[in-house]
Amino acid sequence: MKYTIIVAATASEAAPLQYLAPFSGCAMGEWFRDNGKHALIIYDDLSKQAVAYRQMSLLLRRPPGREAYPGDVFYLHSRLLERAAKMNDKFGGGSLTALPIIETQGGDVSAYIPTNVISITDGQIFLEAELFFRGVRPAINVGLSVSRVGSAAQTKIMKKFAGSLKLYLAQYREVAAFAQFGSDLDASTRFLLSRGARLTELLKQGQYQPLATEVQVPIIYAGVNGLLDSIPVDQITKWEAEFRAHLTSSQTALLEEISSGNVTPEMEAKIKKVVEDHVSSFTS
């Protein structure tokens, strides 16, 4: 909290204050940006601001549109989010990054306000309550989460090894929904269910437990390439914890090589051997 400013407009505040609070916070963030500093602003959440703006507009007898929001509600959020920018060196080199939060009703991502904000931002992370209650945390719906920056923000080695990860998970979610209604499954369906279940376990992450890229790469490589198929699904989390400890204690040279970012067949062979050796010792 030492480097945090909170602009609070609670549910008990009047609608005009809830409407103005995001703009006040943005103005403070712009001060840091314009003075050559880097700031992150989190809007929690813009759905409430839109509701407050709708209340004000209806009281002012402005004509309502879709879902009773005024016609310029898109401009409300676009003019706010477009103030987040990276300045060039001539103007100090500061930056302001915006992270807006939107509440969906019943998981409906196609509602008016969510689609408006999605069209403005560089992507979205869709969190699903059902996944959360099933123990998948962070509860990210891979199929509905999109990055318009895409692999441009990834290192070369992560791009190479994690390229098929999202496809596997999307196929798994689709197949799993139908598999519970049928008992006779073909080989390809069983393969997708087996691989997807293990990848889902691999991607579970505890709170306040960030992972370095060089540690993520061997773990994702192991899951995507089927090197963990011999390990029961309920043992994947245990294997991952032991493997991470093994990497940081005994494979520091390999981690340094991965962090260099150079992708070579020799490096891939080393990663494969380290994973296979650890899987063999884990299952024996």
Domain ranges of the chain: 1-121
Residue 148 falls in the annotated catalytic set:
yes
Interval 53-102: pLDDT, tens:
999 999 999 999 999 999 999 999 999 999 999 999 999 999 999 999 99
Query: And the tokens for 21?
Result: 């609070």
The band of 182, judged by pLDDT with boundaries at 50, 70 and 90, is: low
* HSE-up of residue 151 (Cα within 13 Å, Cβ side): 11
Span 112-130, pLDDT tens digits = 999 999 999 999 999 999 8
Say yes or no: domain 1-121 is CATH 3.40.50.300.
yes
Asked if residue 178 has pLDDT above 80, the reply is: no
Closest CA to 77 of 32, 127, 114: 114
203/124 Cα distance (integer angstroms): 18
CA distances from 238 to 202, 232, 283 (A): 10, 10, 12
148, 173, 190, 195: which is the annotated catalytic residue?
148
pLDDT in tens, 197-228: 999 999 999 899 999 999 999 999 999 999 99
CB neighbours (10 Å) of residue 166? 15
* Distances in whole angstroms, Cα of residue 47 to Cα of each of 8, 17, 44, 101, 199: 15, 14, 8, 8, 33
